[in-house]
C-alpha cells in the first residue's frame, strides 16, 4: 500500500519542479512510512511512499524497467498477481521482485492499456511511457483507492490525496460552488468534483491518458445491472459463498501481520467466518464501542469473536470529537462530514498496534440492499399507492400534530410520497434541503451555487438505464455513496495510521455477480441481505442475523446537546469563524439553537458545519492556498 504522485510538463524543454514534487511526496508519508523516493526525467517526475506488505525487502518505487522507458508508481494490491506473473513469464518477461508493482509494470509492457482489464485488486497507478511521451493513470473498478489530479500552466499533476496535491503550488484554492452545495446536501463531495475549482477526482473504473499536453478520460469498467431469472436462492447463495471464500483466500496473502475489523454485523462477520474457514489460524479482530447503548455493537462483535475463536480487541469512543475532527481533516483535504470517520480512525489505530493489514466488510450494504434509506424509500413508494384522498386525510391530521423531531419525520414521510422515485431516494440521503441551503448561503455564495449547480446523483440514477427503481437505488449507492463516502472514509482513516485495509466483498467478481441476482433475493418482506444471511445461517448464533443494523452509528445528536455544543459555539459561531464568509451565521445559530432545544434533530447538520469550518482553517495553513469564490 502506498501514496503516489506525479508532475508532467507539456513543454519538454522545462524540467520538473523537483521541490514541488518532493513536497507532494512528503505529504504522503503517512501512507507509506517504510520507503519513499522520487524519479525525474526531463519534464516527467513521479513520487511514491511505500507501506511494505508483499516482498518487504524489495519493491522500491518509483519502479522502472531495464532501460527506464517505462516507470510506474502503484498504490494498492493485485490479488491475482501470481497468475498474471505466470502468464507474463510465459511471454518471456523476467522478474526481479515478488511484488505486484512489478507485475503491473510488466503487464503494461505486454498489453499496454488493456492490462487494467486483467487486474483483480484495489489500485491506483500511473505509468510514464517515455517512448511515446504518454502517462497512463488508472483507478480500480469500484473506487477503493483514490486519485486526484489537476492541470495548470501546461502541467498535469496527480496524487493519492488532496493535501498532497495542494502542496504542488498548482491548486489556486478557489472553492467549487457546486461541490460545496453537494457537500452540504450529502455530507461528502461526489466525484469527479473536489472542493477546489479545477481539481478533479478520477472515478471508479476510469483511466486517464495524458500525451503531449492532451488529456483523455476513458471508462474501462461499469457495473451492468442484469438480473437473471434462472437464479434460485439456493444456487445464488452457493455461488456467493464460493466467490467470497475465494476472495478472502486471495486477500489474506501478506508478508506482514493481518487481522480483520469485526463489528458483529453480517458483513464483517462474513469476512471473519471466511477467514476462519480458510485456515488463517487464530485471527486478530478489532472493534470500536460507544458509550451510548443504542449505538454500541460490542456484544455482537464478542459473540462473533467467540464463535470463530478470534483474538479479539476493543476500544471505546469517548474522546473530544470536535478536537479530533480538526486533526483528521487534512487526510481528506476537503470537507467530509460522515461522522463515522472518527470510529473508523480509532479502530484503524487500534488495529495498527497489532497488524499492518486488516480485512473489512464494506460493500455488503450496497450489493445486497442493507441500507435503511432504501428500505424506507420502498415503504414511501407503497404509501404513494394509497388513494390520494386517503393520503390527504393523513396530511390534514399531521397539520394538527405537534412540532417535534418525531412528528417531523412522519410529515416528511408523507410528503415524500408526492416526489418522483429518484427524489424520494435522494431526500432520504439529504442533510440540508435545497430550501435550507438557500437560507444558509450568503448572497454571493447563493449566486455562485445557482450558476454552477449540477446533479451527480441524478446522473448515476439515469446511468442505470431500464433497471427497476429498486435496482437503480442499489446502483446509485454503488456508484456514488460507496466510493465517495464509505471507501473515502476507510482509505483516509486507515492510511492516516499506515494501515492497509482490504475489502473482499468488493472483489469485482462479487460485484458483477450481485448485479445478476434478482432484487428479491437481496431484500424481501423486510429482510435485507438475504443471500449473505443464508450463507451464514448455520455458522453463527441466530441473534447475530436478527439484530437491527447500526453500522458505526455515531451519536452526533447527543454530542451537540452535550459537550460538543460549547465547542461548536466557539468554533463555528465565534467572531473569527472563517465559514461566515460563505454561510450566514444567524442561520447557523438558529439551527444550533433548535437542536439544543430539542425542536429538531440537526446533529448531522451541525457536524457538517463543523467540518467545513475545520477544513477552512486547515486550508489557510497550506502555503499558497487561500480558499475563496
CA atoms within 13 A on the CB side of 530: 17
Judgement on whether residues 215 and 237 belong to the same structural domain of the protein: no
Structural domain contains residue 424: no
Structural domain contains residue 312: yes
Judgement on whether residues 46 and 193 belong to the same structural domain of the protein: yes
pLDDT lower than 70: segments of the chain: 1, 55, 292-296, 319, 549-553, 623
Judgement on whether residues 101 and 201 belong to the same structural domain of the protein: yes
Among 488, 519, 546, give the residue marking a domain's end.
Answer: 546
Burial of 406 (0-12, 13-18, 19+ CB in 10 A): exposed
Judgement on whether residues 287 and 192 belong to the same structural domain of the protein: no
Judgement on whether residues 449 and 577 belong to the same structural domain of the protein: yes
Crossing angle of helices 100-111 and 81-90, rounded to 10°: 50
Judgement on whether residues 65 and 176 belong to the same structural domain of the protein: yes
Q: Please write the tens of the pLDDT for every residue from 446-487.
A: 999 988 878 999 999 999 989 999 999 999 999 999 999 999
DSSP H/E element including 261: strand 258-261
Chain centroid offset of residue 498 CA: 17
CA distances (Å), 618 to each of 104, 166, 327, 487, 605, in order? 36, 12, 9, 22, 20
The pLDDT, as a whole number, for residue 88 is 97
Judgement on whether residues 615 and 560 belong to the same structural domain of the protein: yes
Q: Please write the tens of the pLDDT for every residue from 542-580.
A: 888 887 766 566 788 888 998 888 999 999 999 999 999
- The helix/strand/coil state of 449 is helix
Structural domain contains residue 423: no
What is the span of the domain harbouring residue 350? 233-319+330-369+479-546
Judgement on whether residues 541 and 570 belong to the same structural domain of the protein: no
- Whole-angstrom distance, CA of residue 534 vs CA of residue 529: 9
Judgement on whether residues 36 and 75 belong to the same structural domain of the protein: yes
Structural domain contains residue 418: no
Among 171, 192, 219, give the residue marking a domain's end.
Answer: 219
Backbone angles phi, psi at 319, to 5 degrees: -90, 175
The pLDDT, as a whole number, for residue 295 is 64
Judgement on whether residues 135 and 240 belong to the same structural domain of the protein: no
**Buried (b) or exposed (e) across 221-248, using 16+ Cβ within 10 A?**
bebebebeeebeeeebbebbbebbbbbb
The pLDDT, as a whole number, for residue 1 is 67
* Cα Rg of the chain (Å, integer): 24
CA distances (Å), 12 to each of 42, 43, 129, 445, in order? 7, 5, 14, 40
Is 2 part of the annotated catalytic residue set? Answer: yes
- The helix/strand/coil state of 6 is strand
Q: To which residue does cell 503550488 refer? A: 169
Strands (E), 10-86: 35-41, 44-50, 63-64, 70-78
**Rounded (5°) CA angle 438-442-447:** 70
Structural domain contains residue 407: no
Structural domain contains residue 380: no
Question: Any idea what the CATH number is for the domain that residue 342 is in?
Answer: 3.40.50.620
Judgement on whether residues 622 and 536 belong to the same structural domain of the protein: no
The pLDDT, as a whole number, for residue 553 is 66
Burial of 213 (0-12, 13-18, 19+ CB in 10 A): middle
- Whole-angstrom distance, CA of residue 233 vs CA of residue 522: 10
How many CB atoms are closer than 10 A to CB 153?
10
Structural domain contains residue 562: yes
Q: How many domains does the chain have?
A: 3
The pLDDT, as a whole number, for residue 294 is 64
Among 499, 527, 546, give the residue marking a domain's end.
Answer: 546
Beta bridge mates, 276: none
CA distances (Å), 147 to each of 156, 197, 488, 492, in order? 13, 16, 11, 12
Judgement on whether residues 360 and 504 belong to the same structural domain of the protein: yes
- The helix/strand/coil state of 167 is coil
Closest C-alpha among 314, 349, 313 to residue 328? 349
Overall residue count recorded for the chain in this entry? 629
Structural domain contains residue 578: yes
User: Residue 19: CB partners within 8 Å, gap ≥ 6?
Assistant: none
Q: To which residue does cell 408523507 refer? A: 414
Question: Any idea what the CATH number is for the domain that residue 135 is in?
Answer: 3.60.20.10
Residues 162 and 10 sit within 8 Å (Cβ to Cβ): no
Amino acid at each position: 500500500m502506498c501514496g503516489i504522485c506525479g508532475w508532467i510538463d507539456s513543454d519538454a524543454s522545462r524540467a520538473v519542479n523537483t521541490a514541488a514534487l518532493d513536497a507532494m511526496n512528503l505529504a504522503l508519508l503517512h501512507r507509506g512510512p517504510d520507503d519513499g523516493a522520487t524519479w525525474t526525467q526531463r519534464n516527467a517526475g513521479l513520487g511514491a511512499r511505500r507501506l511494505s506488505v508483499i516482498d518487504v525487502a524489495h519493491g522500491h518505487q518509483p519502479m522502472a524497467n531495464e532501460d527506464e522507458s517505462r516507470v510506474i508508481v502503484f498504490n494498492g494490491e493485485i490479488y491475482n498477481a501470481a497468475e498474471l506473473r505466470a502468464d507474463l513469464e510465459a511471454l518471456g518477461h523476467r522478474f526481479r521482485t515478488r511484488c505486484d508493482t512489478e507485475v503491473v509494470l510488466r503487464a503494461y509492457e505486454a498489453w499496454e492499456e488493456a492490462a487494467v482489464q486483467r487486474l483483480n485488486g484495489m489500485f491506483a497507478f500511473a505509468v510514464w511511457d517515455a517512448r511515446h511521451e504518454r502517462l497512463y493513470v488508472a483507478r480500480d473498478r469500484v473506487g477503493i483507492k483514490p486519485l486526484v489530479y489537476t492541470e495548470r500552466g501546461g502541467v498535469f499533476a496527480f496524487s493519492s490525496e488532496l493535501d498532497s496535491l495542494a502542496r504542488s503550488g498548482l491548486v489556486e484554492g478557489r472553492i467549487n460552488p457546486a461541490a460545496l452545495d453537494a457537500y452540504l446536501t450529502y455530507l461528502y463531495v461526489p466525484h469527479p468534483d473536489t472542493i477546489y475549482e479545477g481539481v478533479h477526482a478520477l472515478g471508479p473504473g476510469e483511466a486517464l491518458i495524458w500525451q503531449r499536453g492532451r488529456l483523455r478520460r476513458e471508462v474501462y469498467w461499469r457495473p451492468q445491472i442484469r438480473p437473471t431469472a434462472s437464479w434460485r436462492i439456493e444456487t445464488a447463495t452457493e455461488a456467493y459463498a464460493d466467490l467470497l471464500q475465494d476472495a478472502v483466500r486471495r486477500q489474506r496473502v501478506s508478508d506482514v501481520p493481518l487481522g480483520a475489523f469485526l463489528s458483529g454485523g453480517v458483513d464483517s462477520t462474513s469476512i471473519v467466518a471466511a477467514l476462519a474457514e480458510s485456515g488463517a489460524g487464530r485471527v486478530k479482530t478489532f472493534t470500536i464501542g460507544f458509550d451510548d447503548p443504542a449505538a454500541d455493537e460490542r456484544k455482537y462483535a464478542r459473540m462473533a469473536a467467540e464463535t470463530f475463536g478470534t483474538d479479539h480487541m476493543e476500544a471505546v469512543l469517548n474522546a473530544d470529537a470536535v478536537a479530533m475532527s480538526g486533526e483528521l481533516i487534512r487526510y481528506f483535504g476537503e470537507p467530509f462530514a460522515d461522522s463515522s470517520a472518527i470510529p473508523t480512525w480509532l479502530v484503524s489505530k487500534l488495529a495498527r498496534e497489532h497488524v499492518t493489514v486488516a480485512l473489512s466488510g464494506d460493500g455488503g450494504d450496497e450489493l445486497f440492499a442493507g441500507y435503511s434509506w432504501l428500505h424506507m424509500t420502498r415503504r414511501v413508494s407503497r404509501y404513494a399507492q394509497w388513494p390520494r384522498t386517503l393520503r390527504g386525510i393523513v396530511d390534514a391530521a399531521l397539520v394538527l400534530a405537534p412540532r417535534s423531531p418525531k412528528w417531523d419525520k412522519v410529515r416528511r414521510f408523507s410528503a415524500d410520497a408526492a416526489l418522483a422515485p429518484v427524489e424520494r431516494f435522494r431526500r432520504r440521503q439529504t442533510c440540508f434541503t435545497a430550501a435550507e441551503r438557500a437560507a444558509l448561503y450568503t448572497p454571493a455564495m447563493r449566486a455562485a451555487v445557482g450558476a454552477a449547480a449540477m446533479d451527480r446523483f441524478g446522473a448515476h440514477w439515469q446511468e442505470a438505464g431500464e433497471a427497476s427503481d429498486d435496482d437503480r437505488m442499489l446502483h446509485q449507492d454503488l456508484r456514488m455513496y460507496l466510493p465517495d463516502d464509505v471507501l473515502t472514509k476507510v482509505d483516509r482513516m486507515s492510511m492516516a495510521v499506515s494501515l492497509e485495509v482490504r475489502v473482499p466483498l468488493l472483489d469485482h467478481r462479487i460485484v458483477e455477480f450481485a448485479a445478476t441476482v434478482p432484487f428479491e433475493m437481496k431484500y424481501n418482506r423486510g429482510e435485507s441481505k438475504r443471500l449473505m444471511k443464508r450463507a451464514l445461517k448455520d455458522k453463527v448464533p441466530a441473534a447475530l442475523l436478527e439484530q437491527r443494523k447500526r453500522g458505526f452509528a455515531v451519536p452526533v445528536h447527543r454530542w451537540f446537546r452535550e459537550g460538543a455544543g460549547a465547542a461548536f459555539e466557539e468554533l463555528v459561531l465565534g467572531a473569527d469563524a472563517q465559514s461566515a464568509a460563505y454561510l450566514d451565521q444567524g442561520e447557523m445559530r438558529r439551527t444550533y439553537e433548535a437542536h439544543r432545544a430539542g425542536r429538531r434533530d440537526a446533529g448531522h447538520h451541525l457536524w457538517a458545519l463543523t467540518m467545513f469550518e475545520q477544513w477552512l482553517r486547515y486550508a489557510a495553513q497550506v502555503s499558497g492556498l487561500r480558499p475563496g469564490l
